[in-house]
Structure 1
Amino acid sequence: MAKVKVALTKMRCLEETSEYSDSDEPYVLVFSAQLNKVGGLITVPSAITVRYGPWEDVDKGDLVSTSVSIPGPLGDLLNHPSENFWGLDGKPHELNNLDDVVFLAALMENDDAQPGGIRAGTHAQMFASITSYANAGMSRSDMVTRLKNDMRDILKGITVTGIPSGDDLIGVSEVRFDKDALQKVNSQTQVKNIELRGDGGKYRLRFEMSKA
């Protein structure tokens, strides 16, 4: 199997959040975990949480990108350095089965918290959760359901974590590519689009899996 990389590449604001300010300042957190099966049980050898953004002054219709530049008439284009959330060291890595990973994305609206602190605190809580679920012998599907709820609770401030809760959660979703993506990626970049909505806002996120 060829080495691949996976990253958030673009995001479109379809509706701004219901904030008092004129524009949004969104950012995205992606929790990425590797799963191994040992003796029929799942283990979690490693995981990371990658932050994209925040981007300032995002209005309805704006397209933000994590690439350095994108040619063409894309309107207001805001850039942020790109970073892969697979492999877990930011570099391309082998991926043989989509069930061997969990990718969860959360979209936030930055108000008065520090996104770096939110990322660090979220990662600590999420890694503790997935490790606990693996130790309890949960299936991957049950883990994903629990982890999505955990991520929502952490970022909404329902779970007491010590993370400042001044930012607003827009939505959480699993980033799950099509079943045949790992076969097709050898000849073509694979794309997964998801829409997240909440707090009056709606965004479309584009994730890409590409061969190294």
Structure 2
Amino acid sequence: MMKVKILIAADQSFATDDLISSLGNDDSFELLDSVNTRKTLVNTLSQAVPDILILDINMPLLDGIDTLTALAQKYPSVRTVAISNYASLRLITEIRKLGAKGYLLSNTPFHYFKKIVLEIYGGLNWGEYLENDEEQPTSYYLSADFKAFHLTKREIEVIQLMNKQFNTNEISDFLYLSEFAIQTIKENIFLKLGIQNENQLISFAKENKIVD
């Protein structure tokens, strides 16, 4: 049986390590490489073109939005599956417009990840794969202290910078993420906490000792 060639462009994390290990132990896939910068990704693609590219759109050293645009022009045959910590409809819509063939949360269970990737490899054009709550796990949290608020480490960083009165552009520069990514993170925080604006957010963060 021909194996599906996979290239992963993602930050090192427990979720990524688990994915790499699972791919390496599954006869359906051949893992070509795992990279964590745009330069390394481009160099790797120049030597070996995968069937499926798993692209972490939140990587600090690889802006997923810009990368998707570039890949669509230079490597149109590559089927890109975006992964992210954020289930934002705005982000999903943008990713779809830029040519990604699918969108998965980064901590999606491997059995579900495998099913979707094989369907995409077989010609499925698009899927958000976020509709079935029974299939999806709760988000992976880097700090147990904030699990009750459903906030990730990156979201905490953004809140702390907002508390220091950084604007979206300044946060973008500080975290090496696009302004679009920062705005998406903000929207996701508001959605999770049921908060309407930044002033309410900062008050909430101080009350709950998320910021000093």
Structure 2 length-normalised TM: 0.27
Which of the pair has the greater relative contact order for Cα pairs under 8 Å at 6+ separation? Answer: 1
Q: Which has the higher helix share?
A: 2
